[in-house]
Amino acid sequence: MRATSTSSVTGSTRTPTMLSLSSSCPTVTSDVGQREALMQVGGSTILLTGATSGIGRATALSIAAAGPQRLVVHGPQDESEVAGLVGELSERTDVVYLRADYDDLADVARLADDARAACPGGIDVLINNAARPGPPARTLTGDGHEATLQVNYLAPVVLTTLLLDTVGAGRPGRIVNVASATHYSASLRLDDLTWAGNGYSPAAAYARSKLALVTWTCRLATHRPRDTVDIVSIHPGVIATGLLHAMFSAGGDSPEHAAANLLDVVRRDHDNGTYYDERRPATPNPVALDPVTEELLEELTQQALAPVLPAATA
């Protein structure tokens, strides 16, 4: 077993054109029952972020029970703080625990290096699950970004970008970005992604970060490095976790319900770029399907991440 511890996004004066649905993200729903199983979790190498609580913990336990060749799990805690979980996972499969703080993008870049070292044969499935609720008041990280946007969007972009060459290299691979149905209520406001103006609220910041993630997923699906890797996003359900209750007075299904939905998407065949509402393909917020918006968001993202992804602006 191995353990590792360890600018603001600017606006744009360009205005997106009228929405076009020519993005790669499929917009037609289909019957889940007709999809054929494609990816076998057993024997695969899987990297799961945000694995120490809530949906991530339940998903880690479900994956471990399926017998992957190696399960690499990430969390913000020192390994000693999650020894019980790591021990439980280790009883079922080969587990590597990696620590990284998503409030520090340099730490996320180090996580990518550590994950690459832990998976010398490549990664079959990357599940970007780590997330946070919007804080009560607008908060900036040490990197200068609004905290919700950094943890829920910018950090997964850093990790995914740095691992793109090792996911699905020479064999079928998956990148699964855990989104939220709250993205339907959001606007991107490309001129103020970090809420420097008025209007901040925890729920709105969370929804915007998830809309950014869904939009970026659609663009990445169009520009995927090879046709052996599929990139999708999923709303795993309204789940009773600390994250949900930090923003909403709502009930919800169990984390195990979300884990089952995630594993279904990992295992099943689907169209590259699909957005899932639990287990069913669905049409995302139209903003995510607009190619002009996708490119403007990508430009702003590259500017924001230049300190940790210099090649992105080359």
CA distance 269 to 32: 10
* Tokens found for residue 266: 């990992």
Phi then psi for residue 88, to 5 deg, are -65, -40
Strand pairing category for 70-75 and 95-99: parallel
**How far separated are the first and last CA of the chain, in Å rounded?**
38
Q: Count the residues in the chain.
A: 314
Examine the residue annotation and report whether 276 is marked as an active-site residue of this protein: no
List residues bridging with 277 in a β-sheet: 235, 280
Active-site entry in 97, 102, 206, 275: 206
CA distance 136 to 209: 15
C-alpha angle 234/237/240, rounded to 5°?
A: 135
The alpha helices in the chain, defined as continuous H runs, are 54-65, 83-90, 105-118, 147-149, 155-163, 202-222, 242-247, 255-267, 291-305
List residues bridging with 125 in a β-sheet: 46, 174
Strand pairing category for 45-48 and 125-128: parallel
* Tokens found for residue 115: 């994950």
* Tokens found for residue 178: 């855990």
Active site residues: 206
